[in-house]
Chains A and B, each alone.
Chain A
């Protein structure tokens, strides 16, 4: 190691359970009459963005809210199925703020910031109160109280849910709150706008450049602070459970303007998704993990065995999770299930048309419990699977394969959610702070809403009261300059006039990413990725083809601009994965495993967040670190054998 510059996370002093309370008191306030003089830009309208914009509007700030879809309600938070955690302990089963904090730090494999996670656990209860008060129709018991289920390996029932549409209902709650502020005039809504750059004046984020996706015009907006709530970057893999328009462009452009990017290699691959069928697939569909409660995972023992699953006799099947992990069997954590599925497929024992799938067999469960019981438990999932694949899971085993699902990495933020650019904040999946190297089920919704409803209203006020940003408008030369740059970037892409579509390039990138920067990563593979990605990038800039006009609704142009950023982000992910010579959470380095082939953390050398600072185009970024200290949850090994 040459040098190890560290970053100050500005974690407040005091015992962990009092840090947030004390910090709230110590922060400066903006006088109610002054709030309306402050303009705030919120980019993105998912759980974090909508809740932040609504809450800031309620406080009286003048908010401008931006989204790329035609309506704020379509942000991809809408697709979250399972639920949202909170330490309510309504079940009297021993849950507490501390336990939720503990589980989350441990689940994150000791790579999350303790103080942030504790705050998350503290405000989790207020989130449930807030959402219920908004009329979110959570599931209820017969007595009328809220219903809970257990989720993601937790030993307590703390997950609140609204059928399989929890994300949708929470988002509609936040969206409703946002639209109420739109009606009240505190929030101005800008739909079908894609943020293409952040504008920095005197070292502070003071505005954004967006492209109006209908007219194609570039527009400039100025404000006293910019909140980035733009989600994760799983679509760098091309095929993922994310929506097709999810992208990293806003965060990436901020990175290139000086916002450091933390832990880009921490990605979560979800084990139970419907496998891809072929080249033209655009998206992977997630199926609830609960399927693993009754389904048995297996592949044929023989390579390239193309017999029908029912024709393969029992002794020629390899129930690899059950043999390898007798204690947990098919219920091993997400990362382990995913990695093992990949392993058997790489060995050539995968099934299905592409050879990248494993069976999830319900025959035993149906024999044991009867078809009716299985139908009652999984009927809707079976129907969905049948609809998508044409196979009936009651008759033939399901096929599943892991799919990129969530990215724990993101823009580095301090305790106040501010990035390394003053006045630029990152909330929700766009930041890196709370999930460490692995996110527990039902925690993403919690974090998005915590940041938006209960953290940013305080910390933003403190920033504005402390910094007292000088007035600025879009006539400032910095805006003109940023706009010129963005405009030139678009022109450059349009002028390539080659023969390859953005999707083709994106698929090529995705193939490399999933193979080499996916579930298991090796030094060799990562080095190959670092060579191959620039080649694809070169091809992109030489042979890209975008039809149509810039001043029009132009989907191909949108896609191309996003792919351009993925091509750079992908490289950074590989670089980060290469540098992190340990296995932790979703990051598995084949070189770092114990005698039994399980992930081995290296707390001595890597108990830190890796924070990447952009140094200029085609320059290797600088790797800074944020040291992580564990005072309450002492790092231990995970074992599932």
Chain B
């Protein structure tokens, strides 16, 4: 099969960008979307042009490295998967596909489709953990955790930090990312000591990174590869408000 591509090309953060037309032929329907882009890049390199810069690593939907906005939807229209998990058979022969980077002020563009998501790391550094030095832990079975609580924590912990929530949000808000992390630790006995500081500090860092505010569009949940519920945002708000009054 063949597809026509409109890909965002931008040489650097301050360079002007535009959509450039390409076409890729002889696509195997079993190819992943990124392998299709690999094929395009190999064509470009062989013809002496610069390949399209995009990121990926594990190519099995867990590392969170890849992320493209495909036809206006982060990680494509299939839902519940990352860009690397999209297979070409979902498209029709001759389709035109527009590919753009994740766009947000907090995700500055590096080149073409590559953006800088280190804002997430800075948010995590403010409390996305339980402060526990190596060696000071008690026996793992000393604190039983209700199975439902462990499952709820795992639901929130499944976040891969890809940033699709920000990319998809009409406001470029990072609430789902932060909500998932804050929420994860509310379910567990571990980290209760830091519970309120965590909520306050992580939200504060989120605000200072230049993400927009949340308007509850829930577009984030729809594009989240791990289908993390926006109820985590709700939980974060409860947690934050409680922290405001208890600290």
Contacts and interface: CB of A to CB of B under 8 A. Distances in A.
Contact present between A and B (CB < 8 A): yes
Interface of A: 51, 54-55, 58, 69-74, 76, 78-79, 88, 90, 126, 128-135, 137-146, 162-163, 165, 167-169, 172-173, 175-177, 179-180, 182-183, 189, 191, 214, 243-245, 277-278, 280-283, 285-286, 387-390, 453-454, 457, 499, 501, 503-504, 545, 547-548, 552-553, 555-556
Interface stretch (B182-190, B208-216, B233-241): B182-190
Given A58-B134, A548-B50, A552-B111, A168 B141 contact: no
B146 interface: yes
Contacts of A141: 147
A169 B181 CA distance: 12
The 6 A-B pairs at the shortest CB distance, nearest first, are namely A144-B144, A176-B129, A133-B137, A129-B137, A132-B140, A179-B125
B65 A70 contact: yes
B65 A145 contact: no
A285 B85 CA distance: 11
A73 B64 contact: yes
Nearest to B201: A183
Chain B interface SS verdict (over half): loop
Given A126-B137, A283-B59, A553-B110, A179 B121 contact: yes
A556 B110 CA distance: 16
Given A176-B128, A244-B57, A139 B150 contact: yes
B161 interface: yes
Contacts of B136: 133
A135 B130 contact: yes
Contacts of A177: 129, 132, 134
A81 to B, nearest CB: 9
A137 B62 CA distance: 17
A140 B145 contact: yes
A33 B145 CA distance: 39
Contacts of B161: 71, 73-74
Nearest to A181: B125
B56 interface: yes
B58 A76 contact: yes
A179 B185 CA distance: 16
Interface stretch (B1-9, B24-32, B68-76, B92-100): B24-32
A134 B134 CA distance: 9
Given A129-B138, A129-B140, A547-B48, A144 B63 contact: no
Contacts of A165: 62, 154, 158
Given A553-B53, A553-B114, A501 B45 contact: yes
Nearest to A501: B45
B184 A135 contact: yes
Contacts of B105: none
Contacts of B110: 214, 553
Contacts of B160: 78, 168
A76 B35 contact: no
A140 B147 CA distance: 5
Given A73-B64, A280-B31, A281-B35, A137 B150 contact: yes
Interface in B28-82: 28-32, 34-36, 38-39, 42, 44-46, 48-51, 53, 55-60, 62-65, 81
A390 B29 contact: yes
B243 interface: no
A397 B124 CA distance: 44
A191 B118 contact: yes
Interface in B187-227: 187-188, 190-191
B14 to A, nearest CB: 14
B231 interface: no
A139 B31 CA distance: 34
A175 B129 CA distance: 8
A76 B60 CA distance: 11
Nearest to B126: A183
B242 interface: no
Contacts of B150: 137-140
28 contacts: A71-B64, A71-B118, A74-B161, A78-B160, A126-B135, A132-B143, A133-B132, A133-B140, A133-B190, A134-B130, A135-B191, A137-B184, A142-B147, A144-B145, A145-B141, A162-B154, A168-B158, A176-B124, A177-B132, A182-B125, A189-B121, A214-B110, A243-B58, A277-B28, A285-B60, A389-B30, A548-B50, A548-B51
A175 B185 contact: no
A128 B38 CA distance: 40
B89 interface: yes
Contacts of B51: 547-548, 555-556
A168 B49 contact: no
B23 interface: no
A143 B143 CA distance: 11
Contacts of A454: 134-135
User: Which one of B42, B62, B65 has the highest number of Cβ atoms from chain A below 10 Å of its Cβ?
Assistant: B62
B87 A243 contact: no
A54 B134 contact: yes
Given A180-B125, A552-B111, 5 more contacts: A76-B58, A175-B124, A179-B124, A282-B38, A501-B46
A25 to B, nearest CB: 16
A238 B181 CA distance: 35
Given A71-B120, A72-B121, A555-B51, A135 B188 contact: yes
Contact of A390 (B59, B87, B116, B118): B87
A243 B187 CA distance: 32
A640 to B, nearest CB: 30
Contact of A74 (B65, B157, B158, B188): B65
Contacts of A389: 30
A134 B34 contact: no
B157 A137 contact: yes
A503 B38 contact: yes
Contact of B35 (A78, A282, A499): A282
A58 B154 contact: no
B49 A71 contact: no
Nearest to B26: A280
B170 to A, nearest CB: 24
A78 B62 contact: yes
A145 B134 contact: no
Nearest to A143: B144
Contacts of A548: 50-51
B25 to A, nearest CB: 12
Contacts of B133: 55, 58
A282 B37 CA distance: 11
A180 B116 CA distance: 21
A128 B49 CA distance: 50
B144 A74 contact: no
A556 B45 contact: yes
A390 B88 CA distance: 10
B228 interface: no
B178 interface: no
Given A180-B129, A214-B110, A129 B87 contact: no
A50 to B, nearest CB: 11
Contacts of B53: 553, 555
